[in-house]
C-alpha cells in the first residue's frame, strides 16, 4: 500500500512499494505539477513566486542486507542534489 507521511519539519516521505523507477518519477512529476497548479504564493522565496518542492527518489529491492536507514540516506542525498540543481524538481539517487 502506498503511503504519504510528514517525516520531519518541512519534509515528507512517499512510500511506493512495488513501484518501478519510471513509476516513482511519474509520481514525483505529478506532485510537482499539482504544486504548480495550486500556485500557493511564497513572497519570500528566492526560487519562485509560489511554493515549490524538491524531491529525492531512492529505490531499494529488499533482501537480507537491506537497510531502511540506507534507503532514507540515499533519498536524502538525492533531495539535496535536487536543491543544489535549482529546486522544484525530482532527482533519482544514483551511486
Per the CB < 8 A criterion, the answer to whether 58 and 75 are in contact is yes
Question: What is the reported pTM?
Answer: 0.90
Instruction: Report the pLDDT value the prediction gives residue 68, as an integer from 0 to 100.
Output: 92
Domain ranges for the chain: 3-92
d(CA 3, CA 48): 28
Q: Which CATH architecture describes the domain 3-92?
A: 2-Layer Sandwich (3.30)
10 part of the active site: yes
Active-site position among 10, 18, 22, 95:
10
Tens of pLDDT along the chain (95 residues)?
A: 999 999 988 899 999 999 999 999 999 999 999 999 999 999 998 888 999 999 999 999 989 989 999 999 999 999 999 999 999 999 999 87
Helices (H) and strands (E) in the chain, counts: 2, 4
Amino acid at each position: 500500500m502506498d503511503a504519504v507521511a510528514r517525516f520531519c519539519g518541512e519534509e515528507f516521505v512517499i512510500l511506493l512499494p512495488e513501484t518501478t523507477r519510471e513509476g516513482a518519477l511519474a509520481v514525483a512529476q505529478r506532485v510537482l505539477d499539482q504544486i504548480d497548479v495550486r500556485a500557493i504564493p511564497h513572497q519570500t522565496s528566492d526560487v519562485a513566486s509560489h511554493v515549490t518542492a524538491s524531491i529525492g527518489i531512492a529505490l531499494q529491492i529488499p533482501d537480507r542486507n537491506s537497510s531502511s536507514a540506507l534507503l532514507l540516506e540515499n533519498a536524502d542525498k538525492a533531495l539535496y542534489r535536487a536543491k543544489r540543481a535549482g529546486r522544484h524538481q525530482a532527482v533519482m539517487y544514483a551511486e
